[in-house]
Amino acid sequence: MALAAAACFPGNAQSQPVDPDHAYSALSRFMAYVHGRTSLLKGGWIFGPNVDDCYFYRIRFNDTSEYLTSSGKTPQRKRAEELGVPLLEEIPFGERRAMFTANYWGRKTALTDTSQYLCIKHFPGGDRRIENTEHITESVVYTESPAAWRDRLIPFADILHAPGALPGVMTSHAVYPALDSAARERHPDIESYFNDAYLVPATFAPHLIRGALRKDFGFEGIVVTDWVDMGAINRFLLDYGKEMPYHIATLSDEAKIIALAVHAGCNMITGIQNRQWRKNRSYEIPHVIEECARYAAKQPEWAETLRENVQHSMSYLGNEPFTVGQPSSMSVDGLSTEDMIRFVLGEPVENEEYSWMNRFLTKGFVDLWNRQSLLHLQLRALYIEASAGVDLPELGYGSENERIVTKDRNVAWVKELWGDDAFAKAYRSIDWDSRAASAAWNAALIRFMQEHGFDAEE
């Protein structure tokens, strides 16, 4: 069977429209599926789920060698076409929006351990080129206007309207000059070390973090950087390292990253340790902490920003339901500058009175299972079960931290699904990619959000 042709068969005059009631049923069952997967997770900060298209076609746990080419094709996408999973370009916005929100809510409601913190990523969104910020040593630049970027931001807004607090948002290392310029106009009181002529990654852009994310979106949780040992960060340091203000330019690359991310409004910085290990094959974080402490002594405004960021983290994580051992009245005043920097880097603090922080800082990171093409196939399979009254194979859960769900197991599930005649026939009969389909998924999502207590908006 030509699976790709079957999976990507376009709608036609005989195609059945997506029904909002069946879409709602599928979303509810999809959320329950995700809830079951997430209950297997162990860890402190749980990085995900994605609210962008990064690694959309990832089938196995770590496809690190398969990045976008100049034509936009990768071995990942070719494999997706061969298998018959939904293709990104053919999924309407309404379905993408619905999947993002149900995926998040399934994750959130499964985390009953109050020392686990969900962190959606990567703000302010993007397409598959977000993948290239990891190893490709060129800047990833999105030039779209705020109006053109609206659909990328709506899923973030949906999640921020969910009941209960969202613990974390992870930043993107891509560059958003039009979004940054618009945020500068809205928030002229926010200081930046760079004017809008510089291609500044969102991670270092205070107008996007302290302006757009904090003030415009009203996010009150913890801002976490994406892993800073990435090609896009290295590119930025190479291009602008000597053009930064003198007090920044004279720092080591690791201290530059810390200084810029803290100034932008980030509460946690991930990956400095990995940069040090890759460069020196030794653990030299203490030297970086000392360098940043000396910088703080010379730059009192930056030192105050560091203090405010750490105090915000401590107060926020101390509030119910995120109690980690101390009340929210815990003050940063008991920490040295070095300990505040350790907190931001996820390093154990030395002050024994704050030993509760070590449990939070050293609990461990978990990166969520982000195979969105498979999740969309699962969502559509659940829709077909609801509409056609058939029982279909399920993707399955895996085991602790979800990593046991290997490429071979995923591929076997897709093939088993397409080998089911009832599924194949029903899938081909549905008009998945029309505006009407998008509207039906949007209607189902609004109902889903109202059912679960979201501040739902059309």
CA 282 vs CA 135, 166, 241, 277, 287: distances in Å: 22, 36, 24, 5, 11
Residues 314-365: pLDDT tens digits?
888 765 445 544 445 678 888 999 999 999 998 888 887 776 666 666 666 6
Q: Give the contacts of 146 (CB within 8 A, at least 6 positions apart).
A: 178, 179, 182
Q: From CA 119, how far away is CA 141, in angstroms rounded?
A: 23
pLDDT for 10 equals: 41
Backbone angles phi, psi at 430, to 5 degrees: -100, 140
Higher pLDDT, 302 or 410: 302
Q: From CA 191, how far away is CA 205, in angstroms rounded?
A: 10
Q: In what order do the strands lie in the sheet with 222-224?
A: 222-224, 168-171, 117-123, 45-50, 365-367
Residues 416-429: pLDDT tens digits?
999 999 999 999 99
Interval 235-244 mean pLDDT:
89
Residue 93: how many other CB atoms lie within 10 Å: 17
Q: From CA 391, how far away is CA 233, in angstroms rounded?
A: 47
226 contacts 122 by C-beta, under 8 angstroms: yes
Confidence of residue 388 (pLDDT cuts 50, 70, 90): very high
Most confident listed range (275-279, 330-334, 407-411, 426-430) = 426-430
What share of the chain in percent tops pLDDT 70? 81
Q: Which residue's structure tokens are 């030299």?
A: 284
Bridge partners for 118 per DSSP: 46
